[in-house]
Every structure is written in C-alpha cells, then in structure tokens.
Chain A
Amino acid sequence: MTTVQEQEQEQDLEAHFDDTISRMNRIEPRDWMPDAYRATMIRQIAQHAHSEIIGMQPEGNWITRAPSLRRKAILLAKVQDEAGHGMYLYSAAETLGADRADLTEKLISSRQKYSSIFNYPTLTYADVGVIGWLVDGAAICNQVPLCRSSYGPYGRAMIRICKEESFHQRQGYELLLTMMRGTQAQRDMVQDATDRYWWPSLMMFGPPDANSPNTEQSMRWGVKRHTNDELRQRFVDMTVPQAEKLGVTLPDPDLRWNPGRGHHDFGPVDWAEFKAVVAGNGPCNAQRLARRKAAHDEGAWVREAALAHAAKSQADQGERTRPSAGGLHV
C-alpha cells in the first residue's frame, strides 16, 4: 500500500525531474525518473540499437562482391561502424537497467522492432551508394537532434554516432558520383536504386504527426526535439539539390518547390506499405531475423568458451572468483 507520505515523496521527485528537463539539463542513469520515461527510453534506444545491428545485413551482403579493394575496405569499415553504433546504444540502454542478452532475445523473438528500411533488399552495388546517401542521410536528419536528448547516455552515444555517420553518407554519395560518370548501364543502376529507396527513406521518419500518438509526450520529455513531419520535410529539402547535382530523378511527380511555403511539396507516402513492413510483411523481414538469430546461435560456443577461459585463468591466478554480471553504471 502506498502511504500519503510516499505519494508526496514521489511528487517531489517528479517535480525535480520535470524541473531538470525544463532547464534543458540531462537526466543521468541513477536519477529518479518516471517509470514511463524509463520504459520509453529503453524502447527507443533498444529499437535504435537493433536497427544498427540489423542494418549491417543489407550492405554486408556486398562486402565479398565489392568492385575494388578500395570499395571493399570502405564498406567493411562502414559495416563495422554499424556494429559499433549498435554497441554504443545497447550500452546506453543498459544504464537504464535493461539487460543486453534480454534485448537481443526480444529482437530475435520479434518483441522489439527495428527500422523498417532494413527490410528492403539490396539488389545491386548502386544500392550501397544509395543507402549511404538516402538512408544514412535520413538517419542523420533524425539523429542530429537526438544529440540533445534529455537522457544523457543516449545523447552522448548519438554524438559519437553522428560524427561517424557523416563518413557513411559521403562515401555513398561519392560512390554514386563515380557510377554516374561511368556507363549508361551504371547510371541506370543508380536511378533504379534511387527509385526503390526514395519512398522507404521518407518512411524512416515514422507516421505523419496526426497518427503519431507518442510524439507529444516525447517532445515534452525532451526525448524528441522535432516532429516526424518536420524532419521529413527537412530531409526532402536537403536531398533535392543533391539529386540534381547527381543527375538522378526522385520518383515523385508531385515533388516541386513551393515558394509560398519556402519548402518542397511532395506526394503522399504509401503508409499502407509502411504498416505492412513494420508488421513483419516487408520483402526481407523473415530473412533479416533468421540471419540475426543464426549469428547469435552460432556464436554461443564462443561466448561460453571465453567465459570458461576467463574462469580458468582466474582460478590459475588464484585471484578473484568467477565474474559477475551487471553492476553499477556510471
């Protein structure tokens, strides 16, 4: 039973929390926070981490078929970065009391989601370039404001990630520029990849504001700094001149500059497709999860062997007893 005193104490804590947020200060791991804030942060950070980890697959498919050693080294570095981004984010989620093994389990069993964009296939090498240009470009739009997230560890992870994303976008655009200077067949590949990835990239910003029930609460908590539609518009405005310079056509007949608004107008996004992909019915959902599960299962013996080795080494040294999981986060 909650006593009146406990209720008052809780109200004090909540007032202190609200005050911290309103002063644009950061919430740190061991601060008191409302249960709903903690749950929202864990869900958001975990979903972001899962996206980075699953995001290794579409491009990872092309590492062995990169057209040159230079491109192969670049792609390897990029995919390794995606793994790193996932690790930074799992680390941030753990400061909220989440357990990394549990998060992996929730991803594999589809109880937590990842970005719908990674459920589309990468059919040609031009897709590697277009993912860097459009997908990472959209990710940067989404992520730069998250550097100021009210949750300290998440904001710090995002700062690190954003620095590295810039390389991702630039290598993609440079790859496409190179292909556009090549043969007609190569130019066609770039256009085809652009056609396939343009709309799914716009979907990365999430449902329209009118259908985004969590946006208001997230904005109040400083977890989100701009609405989905604001960021989507920003991305379109940024990308149009890049497409022109590249010499590709964005596949939207309604796309045009609106001098009255000072922004580009663009056509309707197919939200039915978005919902279907999020619900698990995209072209590659099953394949992505199966691959992740296989990697996890096939790595089990390595994790166990490393623990056994650590335990044996410690026993040999007669030092500490066996390693303990969890603990304090700073």
Chain B
Amino acid sequence: MSEISPGWPLFEVFLRGKRGLNHVHVGSLHAADPEMALHHARDLYTRRNEGVSIWVVRAADITASSPDEKDPFFAPSGDKVYRHPTFYAIPDDVPHM
C-alpha cells in the first residue's frame, strides 16, 4: 500500500444532464469531503456542459440490491403479467385505447 492510505473516501457521482431529466449515475471519484467531491465532480464529469446539477454521495452510504438477475428479490413482479397493458385483449376497432 502507498502512503496515501487511508486515502480520500470514494464518492459516487450523479448528474442531471438538463432540466426535465433525472440525475443519472456517471461514475465515481475520491475526495476528502463532500464539498471537494462536488468540485472534483464538476471538473471530471462536466467539462463540456454535461450537467446542470450534481449529486455526490459516499459510496459507503449506498445500499444496493444483489446484482444477480435470478435473485428472488425481483420475483414478485415476474408473474404479474396483468400489470401490463398488453395483457388485455381489446378489439382493434375500439378507438383511442
């Protein structure tokens, strides 16, 4: 290990590309504190006007689901086809539906 450990903590960066859009995860960076993380995020992820708003959050503070698609965590929505509009047969000549 190098002498910079314990290093600056890891922050995940989320950008709003323009008004009307959600913040989207774009990557991560290291910074000593949240304020510095914001400045670094501006320099690193918005050099070409890619964002109008930035969120940074400590990576350690994120709780995530298990990544495996087969995870039973998502099973409850798997067998509920009736939640989708295509489940319902409507005659072709019914307008505006």
Residues of A at the B interface (CB closer than 8 Å) are 16, 28-32, 77, 80-81, 84, 87-88, 91-92, 94-95, 99-102, 104-105, 153, 156-157, 164, 296, 300, 303, 306-307, 309-310, 313-314, 323-330
What is the CA–CA distance of A156 and B8 in the complex, to the nearest angstrom? 24
CB distance from A200 to the nearest CB of B (A): 28
A28–B67 alpha-carbon span in the complex (Å): 8
Contact A104-B60, Cβ < 8 Å, known A16-B70, A32-B68, A306-B8: no
Kindly state the separation between the CA atoms of A310 and B27 in the bound complex, as whole angstroms: 22
Residues in A whose Cβ lies below 8 Å from that of B12: 329-330
**CB-based contact A101/B7 at 8 Å:** yes
Given A16-B70, A101-B2, A313-B33, check contact A325 B9 (CB 8 Å). Answer: yes
B6 within 8 Å of A by Cβ? yes
Q: How far is the CA of A101 from the CA of B58 in the complex (A)?
A: 18
B4 on the A face (CB < 8 A): yes
Q: Which 7 A-B pairs have the closest CB atoms?
A: A327-B60, A306-B32, A310-B33, A327-B59, A310-B32, A105-B2, A30-B67
Q: A92 to B25, alpha carbons, bound, how many Å?
A: 13
Name the CB-closest residue of B to A163: B48
Q: Is the CB of A328 within 8 A of B62?
A: yes
- Supposing A80-B47, A325-B6 touch, asked if A314 and B33 sit within 8 A by C-beta, the answer is yes
Does the CB pair A29–B1 fall under 8 Å?
no
For A84, A100, A102, the residue with the greatest tally of chain B CB atoms inside 10 Å of its CB is A100
Alpha-carbon distance A80/B5, docked complex (angstroms)? 25
| Contact across chains for A102 and B2 when beta carbons are under 8 A apart | yes
The distance in angstroms between the C-alpha atoms of A197 and B2, with both chains bound, is 35
The CA-CA distance from A138 to B9 in the complex, in Å, is 35
Name which residue of chain A comes closest to B7, CB basis: A101
Chain A residues within 8 Å of B1, by CB: 99, 101-102, 105
**Which residues in A have their C-beta under 8 angstroms from that of B70?**
16
29 A-B residue pairs with Cβ-Cβ distance under 8 Å, sorted by A, are: A30-B67, A91-B29, A94-B10, A95-B28, A99-B5, A101-B4, A101-B5, A105-B1, A105-B2, A156-B27, A157-B27, A303-B4, A303-B32, A306-B32, A306-B33, A310-B32, A310-B36, A313-B33, A323-B32, A323-B33, A324-B6, A325-B5, A325-B6, A326-B9, A327-B10, A327-B58, A328-B59, A329-B12, A330-B25
Count how many chain B residues have C-beta atoms less than 8 Å from C-beta atoms of the other chain: 35
Q: Which one, B6, B7, B58, B64, contacts A100 given CB within 8 A? A: B7
B25 touches A323 (CB 8 A): no
Contact (A324, B9) CB under 8 Å given A28-B67, A31-B67, A300-B3: yes
Distance between A311 CB and nearest chain B CB, rounded to angstroms: 9
Chain A hits for B62, CB < 8 A: 327-328, 330
A206 to chain B, nearest CB (A): 27
- Is the beta-carbon distance between A326 and B25 smaller than 8 angstroms? no
> A162 CB to closest chain B CB, in angstroms?
13
For the complex, give the distance between the alpha carbons of A328 and B59 in Å. Answer: 5
Q: How far is the CB of B81 from chain A (nearest CB, A)?
A: 23
B8 touches A303 (CB 8 A): yes
Complex CA gap A330/B65 in Å reads 10
Contacts of A101 in B (CB 8 A): 1-2, 4-5, 7
| B44 touches A (CB below 8 Å) | yes
Q: How far is the CA of A29 from the CA of B31 in the complex (A)?
A: 21
When C-beta atoms are compared, the residue in chain A nearest to B59 turns out to be A327
Cross-interface CB contact of B7 among A28, A30, A303, A329, cutoff 8 Å:
A303
Please give 18 more A-B residue pairs, beta carbons under 8 A apart, in addition to A29-B67, A100-B7.
A30-B64, A88-B44, A95-B28, A99-B1, A157-B27, A300-B3, A303-B8, A303-B32, A306-B32, A310-B32, A324-B60, A325-B6, A326-B9, A326-B60, A327-B59, A329-B28, A330-B12, A330-B62
Quick check: B32 and A307 within 8 Å, CB to CB? yes
Q: Which of A30, A80, A300, A325 has the most CB of B within 10 A?
A: A325
